[in-house]
Structure 1
Amino acid sequence: MKVIADENLALTDYFFADLAEIDYRAGRGIQAEDLTAANALLVRSVTKVTPALLEGSAVEFVGSATIGTDHIDLAGLATNHVEVTHAPGCNAQAVAEYVVTAILTLQPERVQAGTDFCLGIVGLGNVGSRLAQLAQRLGWRVIGTDPNVQLPEIENLSFAQLLAESDAISIHVPLTHTGQHATYHLFNTQTFEQMKPACLLINSARGEVVSEQALLNDIAKTQRPVVLDVFEHEPIISRNLLDHLALATPHIAGYSLEGKARGTQMVYQAFCQHFKREASKQFESQLADMPVLFNLKQPLSTQLLPLLPQLYNIRADDQALRAGLNKDGMVDAAHFDYLRKTYPLRREWAAYGDQSF
């Protein structure tokens, strides 16, 4: 059996080496000719998986170690009887920690703000709900909006109400182009006009949820602080956009070691079920022990700020992305992908003794 795998998957050898021959490829560069002799394809979010990509191959299983599937033609693959699996929730904790880190890096005084600080969460699925739990541990007021989900432990408001009341907004929706609740350019000129001018905006979901031009126009007027981990024209990013962002990172919000390993394990389990193999491996056995930094007897709000430099230096990721600007004033796609390929996976806070969910 042969497997083609994105080189950015974690622990692929550990999970699959004794099940198949593994051929690694750069995810963005996987072509139909690479799959001719393959039985399975393992990807992340940068590979566009369509019937055309699989045409002429023996691929019967596609696994994406990601929380979303907008990069996969689900209907087309189903028509061709290709099983597709993904990993919902695998990196939810990592993204939640990224968002809180971004907020406190830019506005450290918020750690003791309590309910005077209002965090609005757009999208209350796996990531949004996990972020809500983490924010509530810090004592913040948490509001959310989602047409499909209501969380009883937070205030569930309309989108318009959330825009008007939030001091920071974090986006956690899939990218959809059609339907009553389409999210393409959900944040546009009209949306920005409804937000507080100083409201911090964080997008770690999908780049096209935010209109880049509308965002630039808004920042020019309001000087709004904005954090982007994803970009409308990714992996192409202009100097003009970077110069207007408070923080910019190369699509790595979910890049914790636990998150990536968990995603690979979820795909591995579905792979074993599909090919009728025994799934007996757990990613935890491959993780190193870390020093205990958290004191569970103390509130998170009193100890998190001084620990952040040891937990995750988000400014280092920002600087690394900006260092990729070329003479034409653009971040090279190759540099963007290199940062993701060589990213030193951070550990989730639970590895350092924080309470787990």
Structure 2
Amino acid sequence: MITVFADQHLYEIASFLPDSVDLILFDPAEGLPGDLHRAQGLLIRTVNAVNARTLPEIPGSLSFIGTGSSGTDHVDRDYLEQHGVAFADAAGCNARSVAEYIATSLLIWSEREQIPLENRSVGIVGVGHAGFQVQKILDELDWNIQTVGYDPPRDRRETSFRSATLNELLNTDILTFHTPLTTAGDHPTFHWLDEEKLSDHSFELVINTARGGIVEEQALLEAQQEGSVPYYILDVWENEPEINPRPAQKAYLKTPHIAGYSIQAKLNASQYVADALLAHFNLDPKKQRPDHSLQQVDEPVDHFNDLAELMEELHPIGTYEAELLRILRNNPHIRGRLFNKLRAEFPLRHEFSHIRLPDSYFERFPVLKNLGFRIQVR
């Protein structure tokens, strides 16, 4: 039997591990467990960094660390490799959820501001798992949205992929970010969208759901004041969880790093890291996996005034925003702790393909079918 410490908020993680694993859950708010010498494996989330400062002495027993997230900037992978610790992430686990957040945000913005999405160009910075799904869902809207994928590192790796040029990207109407946060290499992404780029180009809308710091918040604020970026939407923040209230208050939509949060994405994340852990220790996976029923919506469609109001009912983006604003306004001394608490404890949503709607919804809002919602079967 092996002992594994796991973040207690890794969704249903126990359901993915067999009895041959002694699973010990820990509270990430209290930092990494102090008795890791007992463990062979450690499963974390983005709220706990792993590096020479947070884990200065890696126990000899610990041979595997996994993170239930698609990003890995909170883990010093070179440090783990130097100490012979295997590492796995959950890349791609939440790609569809992120794409649905982008589509929801765009539809709410378009409807409320009376800015049609038809014939708009959307620049996608980073065309990995999430960026590809964003491109896919925008193409499926069938509104002649031109997607411009910018990913020079992938262009270099894959002969079948062609990245847009920087000039092509910076001449789009809308920018959305889906790239890791990096500070080194040929294409560092830290403060990629900075004062220099924003002073030379204007965008109707900027969205960042990737990592805080890819977009320079102060430069974005100044661009908004000058009118070159009238709207921006942020789900990720510099210095998270101690976020700056000013850029948050000025954001068109603001949420607490939850774009990738859905029941399906969380199940994917737990399964990916659990499978990697079991493969590392040559253990058989658990045969019975968790199953979740579909969400049925029965409220009459006439209850909703417009598509934006309906989308806020089907996706909790508005509720997340209200809770985040409450934290920023009323809790200056503990807002970081409450930010993480909101992320960890807010009820998860279903992805669109797991939501069943009456026929009348599709008759009034045909775009719902393009988004992947399904018709109820009576």
Please indicate the TM-score interval, normalised by the length of the shorter structure: 0.7 to 0.9
C-alpha distance after superposition, 1:307-330 (max 9, x if no partner): 523420311111100100256757
Structure 2 residues not aligned, in runs of 5+: 299-305, 357-368, 374-378
The one-letter code sitting in structure 1 at the alignment partner of 2:182 is T
What secondary structure sits across from 2:295 in the alignment? coil
Distance 1:248 1:305, change over 3 A: closer
Give the Å deviation of 1:55: 1.8
Give the Å deviation of 1:155: 8.6
What secondary structure sits across from 1:322 in the alignment? helix
User: Structure 1 CA distance, aligned partners of 2:266 and 2:33?
Assistant: 25
Distance 1:310 1:255, change over 3 A: same
User: Structure 2 CA distance, aligned partners of 1:327 and 1:348?
Assistant: 31
1:319 is matched with 322
Equivalent residue for 2:84, pick from 65, 76, 81: 81
State whether structure 2 residue 205 is matched by structure 1 residue 200: yes
Distance 1:105 1:163, change over 3 A: same
**Bigger CA drift: 48-57 or 266-275?**
48-57
User: How many aligned positions are there?
Assistant: 344
Equivalent residue for 2:71, pick from 68, 73, 76: 68
1:213 is matched with 218
1:297 is matched with none
Q: Is the 8 A contact 1:66 1:263 kept in 2?
A: yes
State whether structure 2 residue 18 is matched by structure 1 residue 11: no
TM-score by length of 1: 0.87
User: Structure 1 CA distance, aligned partners of 2:114 and 2:96?
Assistant: 19
Distance 1:343 1:113, change over 3 A: same
Q: Is the 8 A contact 1:144 1:154 kept in 2?
A: no
User: Structure 1 CA distance, aligned partners of 2:342 and 2:252?
Assistant: 19
**Bigger CA drift: 256-265 or 109-118?**
109-118
User: Structure 2 CA distance, aligned partners of 1:159 and 1:307?
Assistant: 36
Equivalent residue for 1:256, pick from 237, 262, 278: 262
- Give the root-mean-square deviation of aligned CA atoms: 2.8
Give the Å deviation of 1:78: 1.1
TM-score by length of 2: 0.83
What secondary structure sits across from 1:227 in the alignment? strand
Q: Is the 8 A contact 1:237 1:330 kept in 2?
A: no
Q: Is the 8 A contact 2:18 2:286 kept in 1?
A: no
User: Structure 1 CA distance, aligned partners of 2:233 and 2:348?
Assistant: 20
Distance 1:241 1:272, change over 3 A: same
Q: Is the 8 A contact 2:110 2:116 kept in 1?
A: no
Give the Å deviation of 1:205: 0.5
2:149 is matched with 144
State whether structure 2 residue 60 is matched by structure 1 residue 55: no
Give the Å deviation of 1:229: 0.7
Structure 1 residues not aligned, in runs of 5+: 294-302
What secondary structure sits across from 2:99 in the alignment? helix
Distance 1:152 1:134, change over 3 A: farther
User: Structure 1 CA distance, aligned partners of 2:254 and 2:112?
Assistant: 21
The one-letter code sitting in structure 1 at the alignment partner of 2:152 is P
Distance 1:161 1:342, change over 3 A: same
Distance 1:9 1:108, change over 3 A: same
2:169 is matched with 162
Give the Å deviation of 1:122: 0.5
C-alpha distance after superposition, 1:231-264 (max 9, x if no partner): 0111112332222111111111101110011011
State whether structure 2 residue 342 is matched by structure 1 residue 336: no
C-alpha distance after superposition, 1:54-81 (max 9, x if no partner): 6252211101111121111111111211
State whether structure 2 residue 185 is matched by structure 1 residue 179: yes
Distance 1:99 1:335, change over 3 A: same
User: Structure 2 CA distance, aligned partners of 1:33 and 1:95?
Assistant: 34
Distance 1:134 1:212, change over 3 A: same
Give the Å deviation of 1:15: 1.5
Distance 1:306 1:144, change over 3 A: same
Q: Is the 8 A contact 1:42 1:65 kept in 2?
A: yes
User: Structure 2 CA distance, aligned partners of 1:243 and 1:10?
Assistant: 31
1:247 is matched with 253
Q: Percent identity?
A: 31
State whether structure 2 residue 36 is matched by structure 1 residue 35: yes
What secondary structure sits across from 2:237 in the alignment? coil
Q: Is the 8 A contact 1:239 1:331 kept in 2?
A: no
2:108 is matched with 105
The one-letter code sitting in structure 1 at the alignment partner of 2:57 is E
User: Structure 1 CA distance, aligned partners of 2:159 and 2:199?
Assistant: 29
Give the Å deviation of 1:33: 1.8
